Every structure is written in C-alpha cells, then in structure tokens.
Structure 1
Amino acid sequence: MLEELGIQPYINAHDTYTVYGGSRMGRDVLEAMREISEIFVDIYEVQRILGNRIAALTKNEGAYITNGAAGGLMLAAAVCMAKGSIFRYKNFPDTGKEADEVILLHCQHNAYDKAIESSGARIVKIGDSDETWDYELEGAISDKTAAVFYFVSSLYERASMPLEKVIKIAHEKEIPVVVDAAAQLPPVENFWKFTGMGADLVIFSGGKSLCGPQDSGVILGRRDLIEDCIRFGSPAHGICRSCKASKEAMAGLYAAIKAYMEKDQKKEYQRLYSMAVQAKTELDGVCRIQADVIENGPVGQTYPRTFLNLPFNISAEKLKDCMRKKHIYIGLEQEHILYISPLNLKQQELETVITALKSCLLESQEETL
C-alpha cells in the first residue's frame, strides 16, 4: 500500500513526536484493535471496563481514555469548570464567567494552553519566566478559579514552584490540580507518582513511550472527576464530543498499558543504553565529533540519548537536512549539537543511522575545505 500511495517511510532517531506518527505499536496492541474492530459495543461500558482495568494497573482511583493528551486537557478543564453540572457543561464554551479561570504558571506557558482555552476556560498566568512565588498562587485563587494546571517538564524546573507546594496551596482552597504529564514515561512510577502527591487528575499520551495508538491518551485520578469525564466526554454531546476515542483506540491503549506494566524496565533501559553507547563508540572522533551518552530524555524522562558535539565548522542544521534527505529524522539540540535517541530504533536501523551520519559528516567536511 505504501508504495502504491507513494508514502515514504522514515527512520526515527529523534523522538516520539506526533509529526512523525508517534511510536510503533506492538502486536498485542494491533491484535486488540483488530479484534474489537469486528464487533459493536456499548462505548460507555467499554470505557468503564477498560478504565477500571487501567486504574488498577496504574494504582489509581480511576482512568478515562481520551483521544490524546491535548483532548485530555480540554476535557479536564471542562470537568473542573462544570463542577458536576451537566447544565453548565452543555453551555460551554459559554461559561457565563462563573468559575471559568484556570491558573497556569507563566514559565510553563506552551502551545497546549490552547487545548485548555478551547473548553471556554480563561487562563490566568502567575509568576514570570524566572521564578514563581507562593503568594502569587495564593493571591490568584478566587471564586472564579476552576483549577490549577501544571505542566511537568525538566525544561520548566528552574522557574516553577514545586508541584507539592502547588497542590498544598490549591487544596487548602479546595481547588483541583490537573497535571499534564503527556511525555513523562519512563519511569513507570510516574503513573502513580503525581496522583500520590495529591494531584486530582493526571494526563498521559498513549502514542509516545507507551507505544499505543497515536490518537489516544489517558486521564488518571480522582474517581468522582473521572466519573464526570465519562458523563461529559465523547460520545456525549457538547464541546468534548470532538475528543472522540474510537473503540479500537481504547482497546489498543489498554493493551499498550498492560504490556508496558509487564515489561522489564531495567532490561529495556539496558537495551536502549547499549544502543546509545554503540552510537557514541562508532561516532566519537569522526570529523572531530565529541560524542557523549546523556541518561535522560528531552523533558526529563529516564532513557538515554547520544549527543554529538560538532566542531564549529560543521552546522547541525545542515547535517539534519542531509539526514532528512536520506529519510532519517535526528534530533537538533543547538547550533552545533545533534542527538540520536534509540527509543524508536531497531538495531538494524541504528546501524543505518550511524552509516548515514558518517556519510553526511564527510560531505559536510568536504564543503568546508
């Protein structure tokens, strides 16, 4: 089919980005999707059954399957604003200005704010790009506050308030805290870490490290709020009807989470680390490259990557373009730094990446002579 349509396959040595199609689904995931695709179901029943299973697997009170982390943000905002009222929910995005504010740390402001705003919520930012203080959160909470949203990422750590402190201040005023942890796997413990700290809802993407359907995600957390997710989310009519998760995506995500929980995480890390070390060993010194293995993902996840520090006469951007022409995606960190992530690579693909990169390096070096 790919050849017939002219779709070009790529090797992904970058990361689990949506623009590349996320990650690869395993056989168990594909089989679960195929099996449920051949029957008709009661979507509410499937949502409850799979949600209960996922909640048990991840040590949470409840779980709701959505169409991705962005859809989860929209639904979580709507649930927090509705406060259990189907009447209020059905009027969204017209909130009537009643408890429709969502507090967000300014230093965590990102493109996914729009998923929150699409519910009708109004975002109130606190702090700045350098720091956020307790009094700023305390002062921002009012009778118009519906929730506090917190984006977990190592990119925001310096200027953010600790999540524990955010939860404490918000809960003292009976305001729920929603955590976006879309890409925060591994480690597997994050499935219950944030709710264990007191977060009311936590959102994960299904199409990244979980290797589930790209159009899937899961909301974990308080049983009463998850119940409202079921009441207000698709297939119910309202603004979140657009956040539809198919029965195939729901079954596939459950199978992916089950497989992820059963995986030997230490063995998987060692497999990835071995690939990262191989890339370092084979590329270190080529065209004066300094290669190093860094033991974390781009937003703090616990998987290794190989960083390639280039000499100043070689442009990382040009190397990335050269690799793209060879149908390989690679990470660009800075003007003279590239990286290889083994997360989505098979062993043979890693060897192809190394060979292609050596070729691009030699081409680039010849251009500068």
Structure 2
Amino acid sequence: MNIFEELGIHRYINAQDTFTKYGASCMRPCSLRAMQEISRSCVDLDEVQRKTGDAIASLTRNEAAYLTNGAAGGLTVCSAAVLALDSEEAYHALPETGARCEIIIQRAQRNQYDRSLAATGAKIVYVGEGDKPPSRRELEEAITERTAAVAYFIYHGRDASLPLEEVVEIAHRCGVPVIVDAAAQNPPVENLWRFTALGADMAIFSGGKTLRGPQDSGLVLGKREWIERCRRWGPPMDGVCRGCKTSREAMVGLYAAVKAYLAQDETAVQCALERACARFERTLRGCGFTRVWREQEGPVGQSFPRSFGTVPFGSAVRLAQLMRTCGIYIGAQEDNSILLNPLMLTSRQVGIVCEALKQSMREMKREENKNGCN
C-alpha cells in the first residue's frame, strides 16, 4: 500500500499553474536523492546554509545566496536584515522597532505578500497612486531617516511602476537597500542574476515553482553584506525569523534543483512546451471551442507559452470541475475560457489532459442537452 492509498489522498495532474495550494511543481529526482542523503546524518546547519549558499551564488553569478523556507519567508528574513542591520539588540526587539522602521513600496505594487515584510514590525509606506507610477521626486521625498529599504515586486503593478533601474538608482543615492520579490520569475533562467545585476541588494525566488526544488524552499540572491545579515538573523537564530526555519533537506534539495535547472537546454525546454501547446490547441479546436489562442507569457510575466480556448457551451467553471473529477487541474477564466499550462507536464500527461478534455466536453454536452429538455 502506498501513501496515497494509506491516507486516501487524491493525485492530480497540474495543467494550470505552480500554485502553492496545488503543491507547486513536482520535485526533480536529483533533489530527492540529495535530501535522502543528508537526512541520514546530523550536520552543522550554519555550515550547510553557508556552503549551499556559496555554491548557488557561484552557479547564479551572484555574490552570495541565502536559502529560505519559501519566498514569503525570504521577504521576512530580508525585512529583519534591513531593520536590525548589525545590532543584536535591535533584532531581538523585533517586532518592536526603532526609528528606522519603514519599507517603501509603490502603491501599484501593493499586494498580499507585502505582509511578509510587515511581519517583522516594519511599517509599509506606499508612494504613488494605484493606476500610475510615482514621480522620481515623490520616491525621493518618501525616503527619510526612517526608511530601512525600498521593496520592489517584479510583476505586481508593473504597468504603473517606476522601472527597477530607476528605483535602485534613487534608493542607493539616498543610502537605502532595495529588496526585490521575484518569487515566480523563472523562466528565463537569466532572471536569477538579472535583477541583482540591475543593482538589487536582495532578490527573492521561490524554490518550489519552476526551479522544482522542495515546495518549502526559497532563495535570496544578492550582495554579500546583505546576505551575511540574512545568515546572521535567519534561522536557526531565535526571534522573529524563527518561523522561517529551513531544513537541511530543503537546502540541499534546492541546491540540486538549481544546479539541474541551470544545466538544462532552455531552448529545448521551450520547444517541448510549444509542442505541448500545439497538441492542446488541436484538441480544443476538435472539441469545437469558439476561439483558441496562445500566450507567450506566464501568469506573472514569465517566458513560457500557455493555451487558451473559449468554451462553446456551458461554463468554463463547470468544465474545470469535470476535469478535476478526472484528476486534472485546469484554469477557468472570467471570460468563459479555459487555460492549459504545459509547464509541469510530461509528454504522457499532455496526452492524458487532451483525452480527459474530450471526455469532459462530452459530459458537459450531455448535461446541456438534458437541461434543454427539462
């Protein structure tokens, strides 16, 4: 009896997205091997943190790296680093803060994840308006002696925000660091060093999404002085960041995943995704979808294709429900279209999704006919 049978847990094929609630992505075998190896021994966790971080930094062309228990945990550790700096007294007082307690965010980038910054006691200060970026002068005037950092969310509010390059230039001229949330910003692979090359002091990535490391893992990449502070105040240190504890298994599992991600042929991966989308789209047309199209951008601006189709009858929500009874997650859009994402799928699973879609459309047609007779 396997664990699914023992606990009565259902398996799903994820043709929607690397959402946390779906378990994000499936781990690479190399990550599982590394995790199993280290799980058999006790280690010095600080040594594991430092050596895996140094190895990942070298792989990703960064000065240093810190491994977290996820992107949200990374935001909290970075927040603690900019509030405490090098003061043990200041760190252990958190979430009670001193005068330097503000983190600035452009108002268009306001989102639910900025609460992870506020968890340390930081006060979030929003500048600009929701539908247009602040002026350079507005941002400059918002930075005062109370400012600990400027945070920048790569995707949220991107059309109504100052560019990262300008934010970095202004913040650094005013003597404050910049924290970048890039949790789901892969592919392309160069994003792992692009934001820090633009001057970000700390850039945060999820380990459990496209990197395909452990779901409860994440990366902070950046400048050595700030990563050293993350190492100092992050787990296993007691205090406000203790809940961001990262296991030895998650750290080496993420290292193995990053190594494999950087070694893969990105062109070949993209070609495989395009072939999967073409197969989806043939199936959608064969099922009578009234409009079928492809987008070359992921849900938060990543570079990979997804297929969409407008449901010819019934509702996209109902179709997604029927697909879930087949053990498959798909997306249902507000415009009564569905989305099919090949990012997490093997070639075999693409075929399973297509056959399930045909079956679900037949079932929905029967429901429509039955309702029409009543």
* TM-score bracket, shorter-length normalisation: over 0.9
CA distance in 2, matches of 1:367, 1:38: 54
Q: Which amino acid aligns with 1:333?
A: Q
| Residue in 1 that maps onto 2:142 | 140
CA contact (8 A) 1:287 1:362 kept: no
CA contact (8 A) 1:188 1:261 kept: yes
Deviations along 1:108-140, one digit per CA (max 9) or x if unpaired, are 111111111111101011112211122221121
Per the TM alignment, residue 352 of structure 1 is displaced from its structure 2 partner at its CA by 1.5
Per the TM alignment, residue 363 of structure 1 is displaced from its structure 2 partner at its CA by 2.8
Per the TM alignment, residue 285 of structure 1 is displaced from its structure 2 partner at its CA by 4.6
Helix, strand or coil: the match of 1:81? helix
Matched, 1:87 2:94: no
Helix, strand or coil: the match of 2:333? strand
Note closer, same or farther for the CA distance 1:4–1:138 as it changes in structure 2 (3 Å cut): same
CA distance in 1, matches of 2:106, 2:142: 11
Helix, strand or coil: the match of 1:235? coil
Helix, strand or coil: the match of 1:186? coil
* 5+ residue gaps, structure 2: 370-374
Helix, strand or coil: the match of 1:342? coil
CA distance in 2, matches of 1:330, 1:276: 13
* 5+ residue gaps, structure 1: none
CA contact (8 A) 2:187 2:302 kept: yes
CA contact (8 A) 1:287 1:365 kept: no
Give 1:1-369 correspondences, 5 Å limit.
Answer: 1-96=3-98, 98-133=99-134, 134-153=136-155, 156-311=157-312, 313-369=313-369
Deviations along 1:308-366, one digit per CA (max 9) or x if unpaired, are 1223x431111111212222110123231111001111222211211221222233334
Per the TM alignment, residue 233 of structure 1 is displaced from its structure 2 partner at its CA by 0.5
Deviations along 1:284-319, one digit per CA (max 9) or x if unpaired, are 2523332222111111111111111223x4311111
CA contact (8 A) 2:74 2:220 kept: yes
Helix, strand or coil: the match of 1:8? coil
CA distance in 2, matches of 1:89, 1:51: 22
CA contact (8 A) 1:287 1:361 kept: no
Deviations along 1:231-280, one digit per CA (max 9) or x if unpaired, are 11000111111101000000000000011111111111111111111111
Q: Percent identity?
A: 47
CA distance in 1, matches of 2:141, 2:359: 57
Q: Which amino acid aligns with 2:103?
A: V
CA contact (8 A) 2:283 2:358 kept: no
